[in-house]
Chains A and B, each alone.
Chain A
Amino acid sequence: MGGSSAFVVSAKKRRMQQIMKMTGESLLFLVASFVAVVVLFIFYFVARDAIPFFQLRGFAEFFTSTNWYPADEPGEFGALAIIYGSGMVTLGSALIAVPLGIAAAICLSDVLPFNIRQYAKPVIEMLAAIPSVAYGFFALVIFAPLLQNFGGTILMWTWWVIAGPFLVLAVVVLGDMVTAGEPDEAKRDRKRLLMNGFFSVLALGLLYWVGNTLNAIQIMSGTNALNVSIILSFMALPTIVSVSEDALQAVGRELREGSYALGATRAETLVQTVLPAASSGILAAVILGIMRALGETMVVWMASGNSSQIPDPWFNYLDSIRTLTATIAGDMGEADQVTGSARYHVLFAMGLLLLIFSFVSNFISERVVVRQRKILSGQ
């Protein structure tokens, strides 16, 4: 009797289970669709206030003029320099954070011993827990004067710290690749040592020459695109390291051991097997990191200098710039519906631009991830 009741489910119980299942599923569906609806609503409300700006002033001025004088009568609303500034610091921080982040992730997942990794990863992730206003304060009060006083030296050290590990990796990988064709093991080792030495000399020369050039630079104003790019890259690093390290871990032992079994070196395994297999995850990490940098407001508002200019020359990271996010934060106070309508709506136009940009990059990364997955699973 006891045994049979445990296996045979009564009709009533089954109905109960079905109802429970329905409620659970619809609840989850509701939550999921709520998130989607929130995103749609944000889009709708931002667009609703952005469109009047384009009706008032057209598209040409906003996208092609660099004259940003919203407080004048009549105001000028050329946002080209501001859009450029946003792009510039985002690119700058990506240039620093992406190589450094991926290198750190590779180091954590495939190079460092397990017990060190256990401590290193939480420390890196702690960077994400520091509030952005603290970063901004540091950038304005400590880092900007430092850049002015010891700018060249700091640039040199930054170059060494970033390029150093990468060049070491390059030397090892290049040495391996050049000598991989040599069949005799003893000869190969000797040749590899020679090649490593040769590439080391090249790398050291490069380190010294670029470092020396950077050391000679005198920075007039420390609140500039470089300051912000560096601080933003620190803020993007934990995201990039953590997510790409997870992706590298997810590749699994089998692929690595398979690669070694086929006679691949450690470098070949890393570059030709592990990295491609984890590439979609790494790309997702990079996009997440970049979005973090693009959307950051407090740091750029405090430490970018906020000059609405395209630097001269255009790649000069030592000039002050202004970003979309900082402009929205800084001009919000004065721009009220009652006192100036183009001035109010232009901030929404900027918000819409940021939204569209993040949607497009999310969409692209989604597509790449899907395609990568298909290729890897052999379809």
Chain B
Amino acid sequence: MSWFSDRHLFLLAVVVYGLSTTYSVFLWRKGFRRDDHVNYLLLLGAFSLHTSAMFLRGFRLNHCPVSNLYEATTFASWSIVATYLALGLWPRLRFLGAFASPVLFGIGVFALMPSLDAPPHAINSQVSSVWTSVHAALLSLAYGAFGLSSVAAVMYLTQEHNLKLHKLQAIFSLLPPIQRLEAVVGRLLLSGFVLLTVGLALGAFALAHMPHPQAYRGSPKIVWSAVVWLLYLSLIIMRWKFAQGGRRFALGAIGSFVFVLLTFWGTNALDALHNP
């Protein structure tokens, strides 16, 4: 079975994410009126395949699989589905799966692009240490939390829209109350921000121990990370200090994650330190 690699397992996981996305279309059309066991089980199955793929890769590399873009992307999407499965233990939050599966499927298809799974660059090996592994893992978890918070924000906007327009679906659906959804968005975003802060601090620590760290001061990835950190910090401050909750907060969570999605790979490509 030497032909069967961890990528094949991940491919299977992406296929199940695809099935879950298709099933989610039916859930949307039905208006979320029945308990969402099927989608939860589909995502649980995909999670098992996804986890096995990551384990295989981790055992092969003998360290946490976050050394290239493919691994970082699969780690981030793994943290999205893991957090969803935990939240989905509450029946009404189970419908998050219908909003999460298209995101997981999209990220999964993107991660499977062969060019993303390149062997680590020499400069990466130079800085390779436990700290950089933890740095990359924490950031992947942070982006996972941001991803799920944006998914919950889409769910919030859907329910808010239905309530505002007096659609009967707002009443008939089994979606949770919007106030609870807003709390879920806020908590996931805060958790992601804490992980991002610790992850970036560890990255800075690892960078400080490299020869000529000042050479990377203007690195696109470092500047980008600072921008993302400030973006999420401003969202959190706006919510807690200036009471900008509700729709604006949800739009902010979605917009910030879309920004991360669209720029993450580009800044990596431009950066010598992070580009494999």
- The answer to whether A and B come from one shared complex is no
Interface of B with A (CB < 8 Å)? none
Q: Which residue numbers of A lie inside 8 Å of B, CB to CB?
A: none
